[in-house]
Amino acid sequence: MRGTLTDDQVRGAVQEALDALPPEFADQMGEVAVVVEESHPDGLMGIYDPVGGLQRIVIFREANPTAEEVRRTVWHEVGHFFGMDENRLHDLGYG
């Protein structure tokens, strides 16, 4: 199933979500790459992937049909970057 947002719209929503992070978090993100890919084979919305020394957050376009979902997914994965587990993210409203 194809999402309703184009690649450019998802990228724009990702940038808006990152721009909305409080400075105390944004300043600690360092060299984390945030990329948009079409889809994940398991239907994930996003993933924080620190494998191989490259830290990246991947947002999957097909699973995020609205800008609001993109924002929630970005913030969810940023939470994982900061060491939060699924229970904590759920408690914060990003689970």
Q: CB of 58 within 8 A of CB of 47?
A: yes
Task: Report the alpha-carbon distance of residue 48 to residue 76 in Å, rounded.
Answer: 9
Distance CA 66, CA 54 (A): 28
Mean pLDDT over residues 50-72, rounded?
91
pLDDT of residue 3: 52
| Count of beta carbons in the 10 Å neighbourhood of residue 59 | 26
Say what the pLDDT of residue 1 is.
46
Burial of 31 (0-12, 13-18, 19+ CB in 10 A): exposed
- Above 90 in pLDDT, residue 65? yes
Reported residue count of the chain is 95
Q: 39-49: buried (b, 16+ CB within 10 Å) or exposed (e) per residue?
A: eeeeeebbbbb
pLDDT higher than threshold 50 for residue 62: yes
CATH topology (fold) of 7-91? Zincin-like (3.30.2010)
pLDDT for residue 51: 78
Per-residue model confidence (pLDDT) at position 93: 84
Please check the confidence at residue 95 and state whether its pLDDT lies above 50. yes
> What tens digit of pLDDT does each residue of 7-59 get?
999 999 999 999 999 999 899 988 899 999 999 999 999 999 987 778 899 99
